[in-house]
Amino acid sequence: MAKRFRLNTRGFGGEPAVPDVKTLSAWVGRHKGRTADILTFRLDQSLAPQIDAGIMMPCAGGMFYAERILAS
């Protein structure tokens, strides 16, 4: 059997679509008691698919994240 190599993968971020009210309210309901603002929603929607796909270094991009990243 041939040896399998795991290649390093890196995400380059992306902008998730603007959510409709139903999608956003369902997401907020699942995050009750935790941070559940629109920026956190957008980060979650951008990063979760990359993590699910096995991207080793996921990334979220966008001008709205800069302040939060610099503050952390």
Please say whether the beta carbons of 58 and 12 come within 8 A.
Answer: no
Q: What is the mean pLDDT of residues 58-72?
A: 70
Instruction: Supply the pLDDT for residue 66.
Output: 65
Instruction: Supply the pLDDT for residue 64.
Output: 61
For the chain, the structural domain boundaries read 21-71
Instruction: Supply the pLDDT for residue 69.
Output: 67
pLDDT, tens digit, 9 for 90 and up, residues 8-60: 888 877 777 888 999 999 999 998 888 888 888 888 888 888 889 988 988 87
**H or E stretch at 48:** helix 38-52
Q: Two tokens at 49?
A: 């698919």
Q: Cα–Cα distance between 18 and 22 in angstroms, integer?
A: 12
Question: What's the whole-model pTM score?
Answer: 0.64
Residue of 32, 45, 23, 2 whose CA lies nearest to 65: 45
